[in-house]
């Protein structure tokens, strides 16, 4: 298993009660595995079917592999402007 820190913002930070959480994903895990691990945490019920995730500050589809040391973030629906 690989431990990853996931950054949380705005409504997700409020739902999870933290600005970052650490999750464990299988070695050679993907963005999908990160989302699955987040979903079962307290607050995870607020996540939509396919939440946005970024890896190293770029949006990443579910199949993208994740590695220890990457900057992973869960992105609520954006509303800038």
Partner 1 sequence: MIRAAIVAAPIDVAGLLDEVTAECTGATTCFVGTVRDVNDGRAVTGIEYSAYAAMAIEEMTRIGTEARAQFGDVRIVIEHRVGTLGLRDVSVAIAVSHARRAPALDAQRFAIEELKRRVPIWKCEHYVDGDRQWVDPTAIASDAPAVARGGQ
Which residues contact partner 1 by CB under 8 A?
Answer: 7, 9-11, 14, 31-32, 34-36, 47-54, 57-62, 64, 71, 73, 75-81
Comparing CB distances to partner 1, the nearer of 45 and 57 is 57
Q: How far is the CB of 3 from partner 1 (least distance, A)?
A: 18
The string of DSSP codes covering the chain is -EEEEEEE-HHHHHHHTSSEEEEEE-TT-BHHHHHHHHHTSTTGGG--SS-EEEETTEE--TT-B--TT--EEEEPPP---
Q: Which is nearer to partner 1, 27 or 48 (CB)?
A: 48
């Amino acid at each position: 298993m690989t431990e990853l820190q996931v950054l949380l913002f705005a409504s997700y930070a409020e739902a999870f009660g933290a600005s970052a959480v650490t999750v464990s994903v299988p070695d050679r895990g993907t963005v999908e595995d990160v989302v699955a691990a987040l979903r079962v945490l307290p607050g995870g019920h607020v996540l939509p079917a396919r939440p946005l995730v970024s890896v190293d500050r770029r949006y990443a589809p579910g199949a993208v592999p994740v590695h220890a040391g990457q900057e992973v973030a869960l992105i609520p629906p954006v509303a800038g402007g």
